[in-house]
Chain A
């Protein structure tokens, strides 16, 4: 089973709201990712968590706040967003194990959360 589950599928929020996107995987993966995808563009990396610790932040504005409560869950907290932040937010995971395995770096994506900021 190579499933990454994201909720909610759709979210509409005002610029003063606080909301969260959630991601879950039960593949025993130790690396989890947040990507942002605008229409007709490729996904862009936002954050990487490795063994529940933030390892990469691609200079993302602080109005996006990631959290990794445990090895299966990844959240993205949203606050004071702008209309230009409207996009598809994708969660992904990979084995992330430090030993090299044939599929150790294969990245699996969820279906995404469509965010609209009004």
Chain B
């Protein structure tokens, strides 16, 4: 089955700086890679996703890059703000359009220092 590793487990950055979280996956059949943000006491919120036919995707301050050859993908947050503080999970799946089995990374606790 799929195995997703995520680093670092904790990350502290000064407000305004950039944050990068990295994930690697094992199953070459995986072709869909979402990122979720989970605030304390809440459910995971999808913030960005990327499919294997794309190398990079950007949405305002958030970007994701995918290297299929190396089997790794990364989340980049620029101009960080205090409200970016949360736990971030990467995930991977071989899209099955009806039976998606997301495999999550272990999570990164991001703290933005004002």
CB distance from A106 to the nearest CB of B (A): 6
CB distance from B45 to the nearest CB of A (A): 7
The secondary structure that dominates the B interface is loop
A31 within 8 A of B: yes
Contact partner, A105, options B89, B97, B105, Cβ 8 Å: B97
Asked if B42 and A97 sit within 8 Å, CB to CB, the answer is no
Asked if A98 and B97 sit within 8 Å, CB to CB, the answer is yes
Asked if B43 and A110 sit within 8 Å, CB to CB, the answer is yes
Map CB proximity to A onto B46-90 as digits: 1 under 8 Å, 0 otherwise: 100100000000000000000000000000000000000000010
| Cα A100 to Cα B32 with chains together (Å) | 13
Known: A42-B104, A50-B98, A55-B98. A90 touches B43 (CB 8 A): yes
Interface residues on A, range: 35 or more
Known: A42-B89, A42-B106, A106-B34. A111 touches B97 (CB 8 A): no
Q: Which residues of B contact A (CB under 8 A)?
A: 32, 34, 36, 42-46, 49, 89, 93, 95-102, 104-107
Asked if A107 and B106 sit within 8 Å, CB to CB, the answer is no
Asked if B46 and A31 sit within 8 Å, CB to CB, the answer is no
Asked if A55 and B46 sit within 8 Å, CB to CB, the answer is no
Interface residues of A in 35-70 (CB under 8 A from B): 40-43, 45, 48, 50-51, 55-56
Chain A residues whose CB sits within 8 angstroms of the CB of B107 once the complex forms: 40-42
Chain B residues whose CB sits within 8 angstroms of the CB of A42 once the complex forms: 89, 104-107
Chain B residues whose CB sits within 8 angstroms of the CB of A6 once the complex forms: 43
| Cα A33 to Cα B95 with chains together (Å) | 15
Chain A residues whose CB sits within 8 angstroms of the CB of B106 once the complex forms: 41-42
Asked if A109 and B99 sit within 8 Å, CB to CB, the answer is no
| Cα A56 to Cα B101 with chains together (Å) | 9
CB distance from A84 to the nearest CB of B (A): 20
